[in-house]
Amino acid sequence: MKGPMSPLTLRATELEDRPPEWMSLIAPSSSAGPAPPLPSSSSSSNGAAAAGLKPRRVRVLPVSHPSHSDIYNNSPGGARGFLGSNCWLAFWRVVHYLFPCTKWMAAYSLRNDLVADLVAGISVGVMLVPQSMSYAKLAGLPPIYGLYSAFVPILSYVVFGSSRQLAVGPVAIVSILTFDGLRKVVAEKLRDSAIAAGLAGGGYGPTAVAGGVAGGIELPANAGLSGFQPSRSLLDFRSSVSSSSVSSGGGSISGGSGSGSSSVPFPFPVTTAARQLSSMGWGLTAAELTGGGGGGGGGGVGGAVGAVDVSMEELAVLLALMVGLLEVLMGLLRMGWLVRFLSHSVVSGFTSGAALLVCVSVAKDILGFSMPGQTTFVAALSHIIKQIVAGRAHWQPMALGGGALLLLLLMKEAGKSWKSLQALRCAGPFTSIVIGALVVKWWRPEHVPVVGEIPQGLPSLSTAFPWEYLPKLLPTALVITGVAILESCGIAKALAARNGYAIDANQELFGLGMANVLGSFFSSFPTTGSFSRSAVNNEVGARTAMSGLIMALMVVATLLFLTPAFRDVPQCVLAAVVVNAVHGLVDLQEPLFLWRVEKKDLVLWLCAFLGTLLLGLETGVLISVALSLVFVIHESANPHMAVLGRLPGTTVYRNVKQYRDAYTYRGVVILRIDAPIYFANVDYIKERLRKYELQRVAWWKDGSSGSSGGRLASSGSSAGPTDWL
């Protein structure tokens, strides 16, 4: 050999000629002495021969580490070779990330894949059309917007999505979140418009109010207020006004530092606006309805209702764009880890509460009466009970909606129980709306509202967005983004694992974001992956995202040719479709499981569930997320510390509470800190270490107690303090 050579650069042929003693050069040095000699090749051969096996020669492969200068040479392994051979790899890596459809399209088989995707696409498409119209109504939008949301977003996800079985489109939870957010913005806009109208036609004194002008009012002097008060200031003094006083045309307005009050009649425009808004279901309070008065008798609030310059549809489209941009940004910046702060317990509790809220929200259509938009479960349920007690429920929509719901449940259970009847599960929603439309067309029952005329044709491209409402919609967009990502990524990962492929969460975020961004230009409201439709898509046998293309084509056919057929679909049947889709989301087994496993997660579940029912959707989610962060911070600042013991006959140390045979040494405590050490937990770790240092506890293996030989014993007085940590 020509001079000394590093062991890592020796060739395999040279290692074969070296004696076994050479291996001591690469063995780690130790103060305890040299490493034990390795068995020679002769002894290995003799042992193999004794066992009747043919001796096998072991070859040691060379390990080489290139120097810094090697990267810049002109060899095939240098920079030029790397760029020449890997630029295409980098290019295709970017293409596959931005367009995941190129992965399955390259290996698509018309013979093996097309038939399965075609059957799956048609099966899910039959579910998608009626569900999308129902979810649009749940979001407070016309049914046509549900079909729009089931067209472009699906096509976009086929190109940009990474899951091959995920069915994207309108879903119940996102729809109710959309309605909750839009209702608040529209209600605030209606109130501000009424105030503006009142200020424009304001006057002085009770005479002006009685004449139809509530923009200003003169209270008694002892009320401590000036003679003229604008409507916005009077909002604080009208919170005690009830809706019945608005309908009756009069009421008292109290306020100021004194005890005086002024009893004035509400002008006619206020009464008209109250009844209009009640029928529209905005759920405005009486104080908001009386927030502005009438200018000139016939103007005022009644005219202010038509003065709102934005519609629910425009706000929903803007919300879809905002949700899409947030998802795209999170995907490109690889920020999917932020969603981990929404734990499974929070999502389960929120979903269960939201499903119950959805059921009571659409119950009015099945019972046959109107109900103002309620933000909480208790308020909606209370209104339903009052309407039933008052005798305002009608048996015709109850019979039709209840029959449709019973048919849906029977077909779903039959499809789950018998594989040969699996098609019934898919055809349930479509069958129910067809039967409902035929019953309405032939029977003409009273008190059964129908969908009405649905515009025919594909959605047109639109780039007009009400950007001034972006700040007001941002909280709703953040909540929808978090919930949509969890719902979609959860089912996408489960389906990918079941079908033998993996997905990247950040890539999935990008795909969902592009579906919402492109869909917003074609009148779509926020969408995400659906649990029910994705499960059916996988069970029927979808192999690639081509099934999504088939779904989109079915929606296109519906928009072009079938929308007139949905004119007579009863609203109560659409409500039954919604209840059938969301009732399975109520998971009451989860809290029972968490009670046995982890009490902290049970607290999170209860906070999300009760917060959603009692305080509203957004408030419930925010409270649950805040509580999750508190638990995360607490666990990080108070990390778990385990006492380790040595397993007999090994050099492995494990937690003595989990391994009963592990033994420790007298006067020595070996600790494991199950968290990174940083400023927030330093004091806690110091306290625990000091505790172990000072306590008079000796850990040892109690080998004399027979059956309890694996237990750890402690001594309060016979053992001295801990000597080593």
Q: 631: how many CB neighbours lie within 10 A of its CB?
A: 14
The pLDDT, as a whole number, for residue 57 is 60
Q: What is the DSSP letter of 562?
A: I
Residue 57 vs residues 8, 45, 618: alpha-carbon distances, Å: 20, 9, 69
**Token reading at 11:** 């060739």
Chunked mean pLDDT (size 10), the chain, 725 residues: 42 40 40 44 45 54 47 42 58 80 85 88 91 91 94 94 92 91 78 48 36 35 34 37 39 35 37 40 38 34 45 93 96 83 82 88 86 74 89 90 93 82 82 91 85 90 91 93 86 86 87 96 95 88 91 94 89 91 86 90 91 85 84 90 92 91 85 90 90 61 38 35 49
Q: What is the DSSP letter of 672?
A: E
For 263-281, give the DSSP string: EEEPPHHHHHHHHHHHHHT
CB 282 within 8 A of CB 372: yes
- Residue 704's contacts (CB-CB under 8 Å, 6 or more residues apart) are none
Alpha carbon distance, N-terminus to C-terminus of the chain:
50
Radius of gyration from C-alpha coordinates of the chain: 35
**Token reading at 102:** 């190129």
Q: What is the DSSP letter of 663?
A: B
Closest CA to 492 of 253, 164, 40: 164
**Token reading at 533:** 């439709």
Closest CA to 236 of 291, 300, 285, 282: 291
Residue 54 vs residues 9, 15, 47, 48, 368: alpha-carbon distances, Å: 30, 22, 10, 6, 87
Q: 431: how many CB neighbours lie within 10 A of its CB?
A: 17
Closest CA to 149 of 133, 125, 162: 133
* Pairing of β 712-713 and β 641-646: unpaired
**Token reading at 230:** 């604008």
CB 360 within 8 A of CB 377: yes
The pLDDT, as a whole number, for residue 373 is 60
Task: List alpha helices for 99-151, DSSP H.
Answer: 101-106, 114-138, 143-149
The pLDDT, as a whole number, for residue 690 is 86
Task: Find tokens 């608040």 and name the residue.
Answer: 184
Tell me how far apart the alpha carbons of residues 150 and 529 are, in angstroms, rounded to a whole number: 11
**Token reading at 190:** 């209606």
The pLDDT, as a whole number, for residue 302 is 36
CB 617 within 8 A of CB 625: no
